[in-house]
Amino acid sequence: MRYLGKRYQEFVVVYDISSDKERAKIDKTLKNYGFRIQKSVFECKLNPSLKKRLTEELKKLNIQTGFVKIYELTDIIDAQTIGKENKTIDEEDAFIV
Q: Exposed (0-12), middle (13-18) or buried (19+): which is 78, by Cβ within 10 Å?
A: exposed
At 77-94, the pLDDT tens digits run: 565 555 555 554 444 444
At 25-70, the pLDDT tens digits run: 999 999 999 999 999 999 999 999 999 999 999 999 999 999 999 9
> Per CATH, which fold does 2-77 belong to?
Alpha-Beta Plaits (3.30.70)
For the chain, give every domain's residue range. 2-77
The pLDDT of residue 80 is 56
Whole-model pTM over 0.75: no
pLDDT category at 74 given cuts 50, 70, 90 is: confident
> Do residues 20 and 95 make contact, with C-beta atoms less than 8 angstroms apart?
yes
pLDDT category at 95 given cuts 50, 70, 90 is: very low
